[in-house]
Amino acid sequence: MLEIKNLVVQIEDKRILNGLNLTVNNGEVAAIMGPNGSGKSTLSYVIAGKEDYEVLDGEILLDGENILEMGPDERAAAGVFLAFQYPLEIPGVASMTFLKAAMNAQLKARGESELSTPDFIKRVNAAAAQLEIPKDMLKRALNVGFSGGEKKRMEILQMALLRSSFCILDETDSGLDIDALRIVSEGVNALRSPDRSFLVITHYQRLLNHIVPDTVHVMHSGRIVRSGGKELALELEANGYADYRESEAA
């Protein structure tokens, strides 16, 4: 379970999150929608532990433990996974090398023994097949020359292999065509389980047709301004964010 309490965050003296509160229960898929600049991506980075942000107040509790003092690697080992909006290209690092390093680093951090090479390859191949990732892609340098869809599938592959308990999808639908959106969504849906929760950040309701959320939260000016069930996404799609902008102006 993830609980965010009164989170206040700034970057370079600019306040981005203004006392944000949010709870995501185990097994829950929570969607966050909001206009550009409302702080959605900042929230995902702050949960994952990016250094550039200054947390002025509040806490982020993962299963009751405050993760704000942890480094990004420790948070990953504790179960946080961020699927990046723009996955980074790492020339010179083969995807397989990277996956093995990441999986073993997390196993080590949890005090478990490292994977043998055959076990590792077996796991990767099984997960890759489900996401329709060709083996050839895994031999290439991580994300280098990958299409938008391939990069997002690679993110979901990592999510599957790292067995994280709290997964953030930061605008995973951006840059995806219809087929890629389906493959990625099916990959995520296959990972839904009572002990894994998701925070799905998106601009559009379209993704939520594929990954049906349990709860929908509207974010504006660094706060959650409204919460509801999946029907809230449809309402937003019909009316836009104008209501929230007006309330801000008023």
Partner 1 sequence: MAAITLMKTPAETALVQAFEAAKATLPGDVESRAQAFETFNRNGLPHRRVEEFKYTDLRALVREAAPFAAKPSLDEAKRALLDAKSFAGVDAVRIPFVNGHLVDSAIAFDGLPEGIDVVPLASALASGHEWLSRLSPVDWASKNPVYQLNSAFMADGVMIRVVGEVTTPIHLQFVTSSTTPVATATRVLVVVEPEASVTLVESHESTNGAAHQPNDVVELIAADGAHVRHVRLNAEGDQAIALSTFAVKLGAEASLNTINVAVGSSVFRHQVFGVFSGENTTAQINGASMLKDRQHGDTTLIIEHAAPHCESRELFKTVIDGEATGVFQGKIIVPPHAQKTDGRMMSAALLLSEGGAMNNKPELEIFADDVQCAHGATCGQLDDDLLFYLMARGLPKPEAESLLVQAFLGEAIEFVENDSLREALIASVEAWLRARG
Torsion of CA 98, 104, 108, 110, to 10 degrees: 100
Q: Is 172 in the site for partner 1 (CB under 8 A)?
A: no
For partner 1, the binding residue among 8, 26, 27, 50 (CB under 8 A) is 50
3-class SS of residue 59 = strand
- Interacting positions 51-80 with partner 1 (CB under 8 A): 51-52, 71-73, 75-77, 80
- Interacting positions 19-48 with partner 1 (CB under 8 A): 48
Strands 54-62 and 90-94: unpaired
199, containing H or E segment:
strand 197-202
For partner 1, the binding residue among 12, 13, 14, 91 (CB under 8 A) is 91
For partner 1, the binding residue among 87, 187, 213, 222 (CB under 8 A) is 87
Distance from chain centroid for Cα 147: 19
Q: List Cβ neighbours of 111 (8 Å cut-off, separation of 6 or more).
A: none
Q: Which listed range, 96-104, 121-129, 203-211, 217-225, lies at the site for partner 1 (CB under 8 A)? A: 96-104
Nearer to partner 1 among residue 27 and residue 72 (C-beta): 72
Interaction pattern, residues 103-122, with partner 1; x per rule: CB under 8 A: x-xx--x-------------
Interaction pattern, residues 122-141, with partner 1; x per rule: CB under 8 A: -------------------x
Going through 25-87 in order, the beta strands assigned E by DSSP cover 29-33, 54-62, 65-66, 80-83
3-class SS of residue 202 = strand
**CA-CA distance, 224 to 122, in Å (whole number)?**
42
- Site for partner 1, rule CB under 8 A: 48-52, 71-73, 75-77, 80-82, 84, 87-88, 90-93, 97-98, 101-103, 105-106, 109, 141, 158, 162
